[in-house]
Structure 1
Amino acid sequence: MRDYATGGTNRPPDRDVEITDIRTCVLEGNFEWNLIEVETDAGVIGIGEAYRGGGVPELVEYTKRFLLGENPLDVERLGRLIVQEMSGHGGTTGKVVTAASGIEIALWDAAGKILGLPVYQLLGSKYRDEVRLYCDCHAGEAYAVEDGATAYADVGAYTPEAYAREAERVAEMGFSALKFDLDTPADNDPDPFNGRLTREDVARKRAIVERVMDTVDSHVEVAFDCHWDYTVESAKRLAHALEPFDLLWLEDVIPPENMDAQIEVTKATRTPIATGENRFRVHELTKLVSEHGVDVITPDPTTVGGLIETRRVADRALEQYVPISPHNVCSPVGTVACVHLCATLPNFDLLEFHALEVDWWEDLLVRETPLIEDGRIAVPEAPGLGIELDRTVLAEHSLDGRGFQ
């Protein structure tokens, strides 16, 4: 077996650093956010975030068996070490890769603080000073998350007018790109299982899209998300019906496992198709990009394997002239990590912001100015991720009320 624990040891004393502890904290936002701290003997603590949901803290705790004592500056090697050591635990995909993603981000933060450089510079380049966001919106009160499970409102909440009102409101905040969920409870009638849209379903969705597009100014771009709900024929019929509206993209129209089916849908329509958020590592996304099965690739850096793995996906996409717009439902920690990454990608387009309903989202950081201004985030120039957590706010919104453990 390859031994990724045997890195080069010849380095000067100021970079001869060790990991001394790894801690986690779960925050109750609109999702359960998994934050991770990596402590070093250099007096530096790196902060990261793994994708939301259960199981991650336990997996992070397990990695202490082989990560303690390792040099945090060897970010890429340690990412490979996690996958190698936990390969028998399903470690080449799934939750192990998610946990590794959050640890990797914390390692980048620690490395930047130790070396005195922002993370984007460690990743190799800077193409932009600001990262443009698209805001994930919902029709009025038509969406909620309780204990990690989606809870939809009554069918009557999903009117074209409700979508249009929210589009107008969010655009007035300064966002020039929006996204709405186009899958609704009405899709489950007459059958909640087969994934087929009726003629009435397609007409209803077309009316929603038309009303939103008529409401926003021409400079505002709009995408719609379907959350992997439909059959191939329904996905194609829906995409065809939306072709007149020049959407930013139509996202996740079919289940994610079958790449050939995804390729068929994408090539059957002029509506741009986006997908990629629930795939792991570059291996699971390469075919989609190389065979042009996607118009916009949307990996989640806190899921796919971290910042460097997302960079690998972006490189594959760049070879095929495909833009990348990372999925992001994180706290400010994961979001700022994505900002550093997006600054380094020539084919980057937009980064998701999915916390409009969390009124304390920005309070999690100690800052004198807002993080988001006019729908954009400035790329931090301070070492590491360039952010500082407000520990009082952190404890207040943590699951156990104590913060990192």
Structure 2
Amino acid sequence: MTEHLLGGHLRNPTSAELIENAASLNSRPSELRITDMRIAVVTGICYYPLIRIETNQGLYGLGEIRDGGHPESALQLKHFLLGQNPCNVDMIFNVMRRFGGHGREGGGVSGIEIALWDLVGKAYGVPCHQFFGGRYRDRVRIYSDTPAPTEMTPDAYAKAVKARADMGFDFIKFDLPPRLFEATADGLMGSPTRHEYDLAKAVRVPGSGPGARISEKGIEAAVETVRAVRAEVGSDVSLCVDHFGEGYVTADEAIRIGRALEPFNLAWVEDPVSWSDIAGHRKVADALLTPVAGGEDLYLWDGFREAIETRAFDILHPDLLTSGGMLETKRIADYGNRYGLPTALHSCCSPIGFMANVHCAASIQNLMAVEHHGLDVPFWGDLVTGLADDYLTDGYVEVPTAPGLGLDLNLDVVEANLREPNTLFQSTEAWSKRKIGFERVDPPRYQTQLVR
């Protein structure tokens, strides 16, 4: 046994000493301090704002803001982070959480949380999933997103989904967006004025515009599309659909569409009504035999609590780049598991966010699958190092065992695909200063004395 000499006597080292001495660092995890945070925004499906949190020991952690989110949602929190030990993830998270919100507004808090865990994993030489209780599986099942084809015919849909199946996926999602009903002759009842039509498309207000009057022909178009896809891929592939809701249709119309699709045994219909309408989701879920998945825009465990306790969702579907990061999403899934609800993870992100999903998914007992939304971005896998060319095998991804997320950025590829040229991790010094109206205090009093 390893022993230490103290005052002329041998003694056994403490657990803390063993851990810190095992970590290969310039100093020790207890002496780590955050010195900077920078962001690089990469194009992709929408765009990916990537976070890099730097420390006094040369270690850095990588995270990601929700696709299409604002870098400022993370930058506004930089002055809280400076000087803090990144290993105190839960304390820092509980200070930050009040500055996030639903949808893309949760991206800053969630992205920073991921970067902190990546940093801590590197400091201790441990993969991120180990911090969440270890893993339930060595491989994580992936479901592939399939965007709606330009020409939205049943045959075009069938070919698009079959192409995913030919890549080895046996769990595939495809979109039935509002424009499918708009493009169908007589798919919508009524003739709104141009102003009403444009307004309804822009904000998707339930009960306004053409979306409140989907006709039988509109429903038939959805049915024929799903029928063609199911016939093409057969019964060995799990299928699910997305996007016909999201506030575009009322709960009653979502029920009409959902019932018409029941003969095709879908794994779920996703977000059939507006994300914030928990009662509407429950109404649809109670009326359908097909499971309803929802939650990609909900923030924190608090945001999911009502939906879980009232069983408004049959399947929890958080996006951890909104829901609060990896540990908070694990907490959401665990709470859902108490009510017998499975969890699938929504994911539209770069390999950084995707691998955060894989680590989180490995630690979730009631996992169904994790979404992959980067298959149509040619340079997606090249954005990072540490991701094998064959990372995706037969619809599964191996859970990494390398420290942290197990990835690093390929800066040449990142720089070549920046949303704005010459903006690779530029200085964010302007966000280092305390903002007027806030007081930053020392960690022991952090939560009680942060005042507005």
TM-score of the superposition, structure 1-length normalised? 0.89
Q: Take 2:69 and 2:285, find their aligned partners in 1: how far apart are those partners?
A: 32
Residue pair 2:127, 2:403 contacting (<8 A) in 1 also:
yes
| Residue aligning to 2:139 | 130
Q: Take 2:383 and 2:104, find their aligned partners in 1: how far apart are those partners?
A: 25
Q: Give the counterpart letter for 1:43 in structure 2.
A: G
Q: Please show how residues 383-398 of structure 1 align to structure 2 within 5 Å.
A: 383-398=403-418
Give the counterpart of 1:15 among 23, 26, 29: 29
Matched position secondary structure for 2:77: helix
- Alignment of 1:230 onto 2:245: no
| Residue aligning to 1:214 | 231
Q: CA separation of 1:121/1:371 partners in 2, compared to 1, >3 Å: closer, same or farther?
A: same
- Alignment of 1:369 onto 2:389: yes
Q: CA separation of 1:299/1:43 partners in 2, compared to 1, >3 Å: closer, same or farther?
A: same
User: Which stretch has the larger CA shift, 367-376 or 266-275?
Assistant: 367-376
Residue identity over aligned pairs, in percent, reads: 35
How big is the shift at 1:292?
A: 1.2
Give the counterpart of 2:316 among 297, 308, 317: 297
Q: Please show how residues 101-180 of structure 1 align to structure 2 within 5 Å.
A: 101-140=110-149, 142=150, 157-180=151-174
| Residue aligning to 2:85 | 71
| Residue aligning to 2:64 | 49
Q: Take 1:263 and 1:172, find their aligned partners in 2: how far apart are those partners?
A: 35
What whole-Å deviation, never above 9, does each CA across 1:301-338 have from its counterpart, x for those lacking one?
00111111111210111001111001100011000000
How big is the shift at 1:15?
A: 2.1
How big is the shift at 1:95?
A: 4.6
Unaligned runs of 5+ in 1: 1-9, 143-156
Q: Take 1:138 and 1:98, find their aligned partners in 2: how far apart are those partners?
A: 23
- Alignment of 1:187 onto 2:181: yes
Matched position secondary structure for 1:135: strand
Q: CA RMSD in A?
A: 1.8
Q: Give the counterpart letter for 2:337 in structure 1.
A: L
Give the counterpart of 1:254 among 264, 268, 273: 273
Q: CA separation of 1:36/1:175 partners in 2, compared to 1, >3 Å: closer, same or farther?
A: same
How big is the shift at 1:401?
A: 3.0
How big is the shift at 1:186?
A: 4.2
Q: Take 1:76 and 1:288, find their aligned partners in 2: how far apart are those partners?
A: 25
| Residue aligning to 1:150 | none
What whole-Å deviation, never above 9, does each CA across 1:229-285 have from its counterpart, x for those lacking one?
210110111111111111011111111222112111100110111111011111111
Matched position secondary structure for 2:337: helix
- Alignment of 1:265 onto 2:284: yes
Give the counterpart of 1:205 among 207, 222, 228: 222
Q: Give the counterpart letter for 1:181 in structure 2.
A: D
Residue pair 2:34, 2:83 contacting (<8 A) in 1 also:
yes
Residue pair 2:34, 2:86 contacting (<8 A) in 1 also:
yes
Q: How many residues align?
A: 375
Residue pair 2:72, 2:108 contacting (<8 A) in 1 also:
no
Q: Take 2:420 and 2:215, find their aligned partners in 1: how far apart are those partners?
A: 45
Q: CA separation of 1:359/1:94 partners in 2, compared to 1, >3 Å: closer, same or farther?
A: closer
How big is the shift at 1:61?
A: 2.1
Q: Take 1:94 and 1:267, find their aligned partners in 2: how far apart are those partners?
A: 25
Q: Take 1:18 and 1:390, find their aligned partners in 2: how far apart are those partners?
A: 25
TM-score of the superposition, structure 2-length normalised? 0.80
Q: CA separation of 1:59/1:186 partners in 2, compared to 1, >3 Å: closer, same or farther?
A: closer
- Looking at CA atoms only, which structure, 1 or 2, has the larger radius of gyration? 2
| Residue aligning to 1:58 | 72
User: Which stretch has the larger CA shift, 394-403 or 326-335?
Assistant: 394-403
Q: Give the counterpart letter for 2:123 in structure 1.
A: I
Q: Give the counterpart letter for 2:156 in structure 1.
A: A
Residue pair 1:83, 1:96 contacting (<8 A) in 2 also:
no
How big is the shift at 1:133?
A: 0.8
| Residue aligning to 2:303 | 284
| Residue aligning to 1:31 | 46
Residue pair 2:102, 2:322 contacting (<8 A) in 1 also:
no
Q: Take 2:224 and 2:81, find their aligned partners in 1: how far apart are those partners?
A: 53
Q: Take 2:40 and 2:257, find their aligned partners in 1: how far apart are those partners?
A: 41
Matched position secondary structure for 1:334: helix
Unaligned runs of 5+ in 2: 1-15, 21-26, 183-187, 201-207, 427-452
Q: Take 2:101 and 2:167, find their aligned partners in 1: how far apart are those partners?
A: 41
Q: CA separation of 1:230/1:93 partners in 2, compared to 1, >3 Å: closer, same or farther?
A: closer
| Residue aligning to 1:146 | none
Give the counterpart of 2:374 among 338, 346, 355: 355
Q: Take 1:95 and 1:137, find their aligned partners in 2: how far apart are those partners?
A: 22
How big is the shift at 1:160?
A: 0.6
Residue pair 1:362, 1:371 contacting (<8 A) in 2 also:
no
Q: Take 1:258 and 1:388, find their aligned partners in 2: how far apart are those partners?
A: 39
Matched position secondary structure for 1:71: coil
* TM superposition outliers: structure 1 runs of 4+ over 6 Å: 10-13
